[in-house]
Amino acid sequence: MPIDPTLAFRLREVVGAQVLVDPELVASYTADWTGRFRGHTAAVVFPASTEEAAGVVQVCRESGVAIVPQGGNTGLVGGGVPLHGEVVLNMGRLGGSEPVDRAGGQVTAGAGVTLAGIQEVAAESGWSYGVDFSSRASATTGGSVATNAGGIRVLRYGDTRAQLLGVEAVLGTGAVISHLAGLVKDNTGYDLSGLICGSEGTLAVVTRVRLRLVPPAPERAAALIALRNLDAALGTAAVLRRSLPQLEACEIIFTPGIDLVCSVFGLRRPFLRPSPVNLLIEVADRVDPTDILIEAIGSAEHVIDTIVATDSPRRAELWRYREELTAAINTLGPPHKLDVTLPTTSLAGFIDAVPDVVSTIEPTASTWLFGHVGDGNIHVNVTGLRTDDDRVDGAVFELVARLGGSISAEHGIGSAKRRWLHLSRSAAEQTAFRALKRALDPDGILNPHVLIPDA
Ligand code: 2HG
Ligand code: ZN
């Protein structure tokens, strides 16, 4: 639908020419990367400052137009695409980081700075950033705060919320809140930054973030470990977590996934003797951790084979078996992505049961399992389903809930999971969610179709 000329005029008063309305130009901002979520919009707006973002929110509020805030558009639950014709507020122009506070180990960055950008700024100043995940080159800090992104280092440094010392953000009222002093101790009432983190653009549009950095651990070693069976893999993961304080990543990959990555990207199979399940781990320290890593793996039982990589190119080769999985699976058609987390005690039962749950509903569908086993987070990808057929999604989420898990570990609820929020959040919690939403976004213009189910 073409944009209302008055709205276009008013948006241009705020951001100048930075309003896209041409249907061909807006198209790339209206679908997610996997192709599962496709929407439409009359306009994509690119503010360059907090003031401009606030101006856009104000105009949309006065015009009764809903907004979808968008960062790098790397989300996987349909939370950053305009599925209901919302105006897209793309934060990519809010770049730039302030100089790192080298003594305090903190940095303030614009919402549009990529995760890789923050990692680079941190490294240049002798620090490191505690969050990492495979879409680092495109994902933005604003998006990762809005979704409380997790990734591969959560077991060592925690999720994005654990790095967050403050945000600057535009509320649904158009008011700006700015809390960027970076005080580590700051007990002055409600933690609005922590609340906005993970709120998926429903309460506020994040424009700047204050992040804690961590001491660098430049000496690294990675290992791909082939294991006899799932119990052996989970047991080994537990042993390694206990015996290796330097453990930074502990990922699980099943051999069908490795085979798929190898065939899509022409990689060599890592092991001569195939094993059903593999762990990919990485340790990082100030001194070379290779011997400690090898000793720890040596003490684990049921290991069939191990490849250890110390230099950066060989570590990157091992990581390709894990990080290319998302792209490899996408070559089979848009997958259903069911990112879930389970208590340690029910993880094995879940992994065993989930392929049957899927095939009972859709015998021709394929189930792909992988993820951050070190923190209980399993990515269940299902291919061979229609994008709008969510029977499998519901059945898997119900299994997760029965086993005491959460229907979203790190990707958020978005639009994909909101009808199942009740499986992880009580009625009283949802009532509180709605009250918070009304307080910070009284007209309901900020991402109104994600996270919170319709009453
Ligand atoms: C990862 O861990 C991301 O690689 C994506 O969270 C997971 O593709 C997925 O389902
Ligand atoms: Zn993940």
Torsion of CA 16, 32, 141, 155, to 10 degrees: 180
Backbone angles phi, psi at 333, to 5 degrees: 110, 160
Taking the CA of 375 as reference, the closest ligand is: 2
Among protein residues, the one whose CA lies closest to atom 6 of ligand 1:
151
Secondary structure (3-state) at 419? helix
Q: What separation in Å is there between the alpha carbon of 371 and the centre of ligand 1?
A: 7
pLDDT tier at 190, thresholds 50, 70, 90: very high
Mean pLDDT of the 325-335 span: 97
Q: What is the average pLDDT value for the chain, to the nearest integer?
A: 97
The answer to whether 106-212 and 332-428 have equal CATH topology is no
Q: What separation in Å is there between the alpha carbon of 383 and the centre of ligand 1?
A: 14
Residue 8 confidence (pLDDT) = 96
User: How does DSSP classify residue 439?
Assistant: H
pLDDT tens by residue, 205-231: 999 999 999 999 999 999 999 999 999
Secondary structure (3-state) at 170? strand
Kindly state if the Cβ of 336 falls inside 6 Å of ligand 1: no
CATH topology of domain 219-326: Alpha-Beta Plaits (3.30.70)
Taking the CA of 339 as reference, the closest ligand is: 1
pLDDT tens by residue, 382-419: 999 999 999 999 999 999 999 999 999 999 999 999 99
pLDDT tens by residue, 57-66: 999 999 999 9
Q: What separation in Å is there between the alpha carbon of 153 and the centre of ligand 2?
A: 10
Kindly state if the Cβ of 381 falls inside 6 Å of ligand 1: yes
pLDDT tens by residue, 14-45: 999 999 999 999 999 999 999 999 999 999 99
Q: What separation in Å is there between the alpha carbon of 164 and the centre of ligand 1?
A: 22
Atom of ligand 1 nearest to the CA of 337: 10
Considering the segment(s) 5-90 as one domain, its CATH architecture is 2-Layer Sandwich (3.30)
Kindly state if the Cβ of 134 falls inside 6 Å of ligand 1: yes
User: Rounded to whole angstroms, how far apart are CA atoms 377 and 380?
Assistant: 10
pLDDT tier at 455, thresholds 50, 70, 90: confident
Residue 68 CB-density burial (10 A; 0-12 exposed, 13-18 middle, 19+ buried) = buried
Which of 280, 370, 375 has the most ligand 1 atoms within 8 A of CB, as the residue to mutate?
Answer: 370
Closest CA to 15 of 41, 58, 64, 48: 48
> How many other CB atoms sit within 10 Å of the CB of residue 314?
14
Residue 134 CB-density burial (10 A; 0-12 exposed, 13-18 middle, 19+ buried) = middle
Atom of ligand 1 nearest to the CA of 372: 2
Backbone angles phi, psi at 176, to 5 degrees: -105, 130
pLDDT tier at 132, thresholds 50, 70, 90: very high
Would you say how long the chain is, in residues?
A: 455
Closest CA to 28 of 40, 12, 36, 16: 40
Res 1 pLDDT > 80: no
DSSP result, 11-74: HHHHHTT-EE--HHHHGGGSB-TTSS-B---S-EE--SSHHHHHHHHHHHHHHT--EEEESSS-
Taking the CA of 154 as reference, the closest ligand is: 2
Res 254 pLDDT > 90: yes
Atom of ligand 1 nearest to the CA of 377: 2
pLDDT tens by residue, 98-131: 999 999 999 999 999 999 999 999 999 999 999 9
Q: Where are the domains of the chain?
A: 5-90, 106-212, 219-326, 332-428
Strands (E), 234-302: 247-254, 277-285
Summarize the chain as % helix, strand, coil (round to 5). 35, 20, 40
Res 2 pLDDT > 90: no
Token pair in block for residue 80: 């950053």
Kindly state if the Cβ of 148 falls inside 6 Å of ligand 1: no
pLDDT tier at 258, thresholds 50, 70, 90: very high
Token pair in block for residue 233: 């893999």
Closest CA to 450 of 431, 437, 432: 437
Backbone angles phi, psi at 420, to 5 degrees: -110, 15
CATH topology of domain 106-212: 3.30.465
Radius of gyration of the chain (CA): 22
User: Rounded to whole angstroms, how far apart are CA atoms 100 and 97?
Assistant: 8
Atom of ligand 1 nearest to the CA of 251: 2
Secondary structure (3-state) at 121? helix
Atom of ligand 1 nearest to the CA of 151: 2
Closest CA to 183 of 93, 294, 108, 76: 108
Among protein residues, the one whose CA lies closest to atom 9 of ligand 1:
326
The per-residue b/e assignment along 317-339, b for 16 or more CB within 10 angstroms, e otherwise, is bbbebbbbbbebbbeeebbbbbb
pLDDT tier at 273, thresholds 50, 70, 90: confident
Considering the segment(s) 332-428 as one domain, its CATH architecture is 2-Layer Sandwich (3.30)
Kindly state if the Cβ of 408 falls inside 6 Å of ligand 1: no
Q: What separation in Å is there between the alpha carbon of 82 and the centre of ligand 2?
A: 23
DSSP result, 62-75: HHT--EEEESSS--
| Percent of the chain residues topping a pLDDT of 70 | 100
Residue 60 confidence (pLDDT) = 98
CB 338 within 8 A of CB 414: no
